[in-house]
Chains A and B, each alone.
Chain A
């Protein structure tokens, strides 16, 4: 492991100043992803700035009926919070579907959405990877693509030598739920505070796959707000994976259904495991607004949503299975949510 300096400043503002002043500096939260990357050589910082004891570890009620999650709250604490379990089951379920008890006790609200892809090539410094080493190419194309993207990629089998090619997925379950909840991210940076709608935090690879989010260097997540859901809204998270526990998603779905009558019904759908970012299925949501959520209607809406999907060939048959799997998982999630009414 490359040597690094370590700092634990006395305030959040000082932490931001320290990271902003050093191009090779990183923030350390729970460390569950960063410490692994230090060992793997994926992350090679000059300075590690520990913020775990600086940001808030409180979950507080907001005046509008929402909740504010301090960035240092652990994934375990958020999943166990009574208010989260009762009012935002989709978030508690997503957190509990991710990692293990030992990891959730370390991982934080601020850090979880910023964890990096588990693409095996990204984590292997002997292979070409545009995310880890911009311009080096993408080893995942036509490789081991089982956990890779089908949405937000330009084609099936994009050019592996092109500097913009990246078919990695975002691995966080929590982030998929936060996308469906229209959460709001509070950020402190060198230029002051700003808020980012959660759906705009993560980005598609675009022309720079090395950037997972829109955060600039030195910008620190200080809290995430959960807006109140409409009265009577129901929400759930469903995750499909290769093992029953402790595995990343092949496909996951976070859904919120609101509205007393069919004509007033609104549906929010976010997909995990299919794209470089949590994927809000906006076209499907629009098609399902005010309609009965029959299997046929949901299947049709998801068919429209997935028209741009690009199945990736690769070892073990590639990942084309994700396209029907995404539809079926949405159908099952919405069926469960509407059955209880």
Chain B
């Protein structure tokens, strides 16, 4: 069954008709030609499909497009501004935080979300004090990024990249 929806993707308003079964991930990739979010597991376990959904990092493979009619979506493809890479993108380059690159767009969107969550003072499972403002320690980054798997195991460089983008001198 079909439904008409509107989405704003990387700043561009789009209107389209989708089958109600279509996920946001398939909508972005198959219908809107944005192949930046990747389909890894398609079951919410790997994080490769992570996008910013109304400003928050979310798994586009577990979101039905029809349930997010009107949403504003930012993919890794839309993070750069005026030819300048987003600081998280630049940090991934500086720190060599990937090998094959398949998980990277999801890692980058997730990291952008992590930095915003830390700025707001959101705690994590790794926070030593639940009430204090968190710091971007290695353990904090590893815990907060645990939903993004990297089968090349570039974690050892991903963590410093996220710390660099968050202003930590490492």
Once the chains bind, are B21 and A38 in contact (CB under 8 Å)? yes
Q: Report Cα–Cα, A89/B146, bound state, in Å.
A: 22
- Are the C-beta atoms of A245 and B122 separated by less than 8 Å? no
**Residues of A contacting B124 in the complex (Cβ-Cβ under 8 angstroms):** 96, 101
- Using CB atoms, name the residue of chain A closest to B43: A36
Q: Which residues of A contact B122 (CB under 8 A)?
A: 76, 79-80
Other-chain contact of B1, A3, A35, A99, A100 (Cβ < 8 Å): A3
Question: What 1/0 mask marks residues of chain A from 84 to 97 whose CB sits below 8 Å from any chain B CB?
Answer: 01100100110011
Size of chain B's interface in residues, with CB distance under 8 A?
41
- CB neighbours of A103 from chain B (8 A): 44, 59, 62, 147
A338→B110 CA distance, assembly (Å)? 37
Q: Which of B3, B42, B50, B130 contacts A92 (CB 8 A)?
A: B130
Contact with A along B120-131 (1 / 0, CB 8 A): 111111010011
Q: Is the CB of B62 within 8 A of A35?
A: yes
Residue A86 contacts which of B58, B131, B144 (CB distance < 8 angstroms)? B131
Q: A38-B21, A52-B67, A101-B144 are in contact. Are A31 and B123 (CB under 8 A)?
A: no
Chain B 137-168 interface 0/1 with A at a Cβ cutoff of 8 Å (1 = within): 00000111011000000000000000000000
- Distance (whole angstroms) from the CB of A59 to the closest CB of chain B: 14
What distance in Å separates the Cβ of A254 from its nearest Cβ neighbour in chain B? 14
Smallest beta-carbon distance B127→chain A, Å: 8
Residue A321 interfacial (CB < 8 Å): no
- In Å, the complex CA distance between A35 and B63 comes to 7
Whether A80 and B121, one on each chain, are in contact in the complex, defined by CB atoms closer than 8 angstroms, is yes
Does B63 contact A106, Cβ atoms closer than 8 Å? yes
A89 proximity list for chain B (CB < 8 A): 130
- Additional A-B contact list (19), CB under 8 Å, known A4-B21, A102-B59: A4-B1, A4-B20, A6-B3, A6-B67, A35-B62, A36-B62, A50-B67, A52-B67, A76-B117, A76-B122, A80-B117, A86-B131, A96-B127, A100-B147, A101-B114, A101-B144, A101-B147, A102-B57, A106-B53
> Nearest 8 pairs between A and B by C-beta?
A100-B147, A245-B146, A6-B20, A80-B122, A105-B56, A246-B146, A96-B125, A1-B21
19 A-B interface contacts by CB (under 8 A): A3-B19, A28-B64, A32-B44, A38-B21, A40-B43, A80-B123, A85-B123, A96-B124, A96-B125, A99-B147, A100-B146, A101-B110, A101-B113, A102-B50, A105-B57, A106-B59, A244-B143, A245-B143, A245-B146
A residues touching B (Cβ–Cβ < 8 Å)? 1, 3-6, 8, 28, 31-32, 35-36, 38-40, 48, 50, 52, 76, 79-80, 82, 85-86, 89, 92-93, 96-97, 99-103, 105-106, 244-246
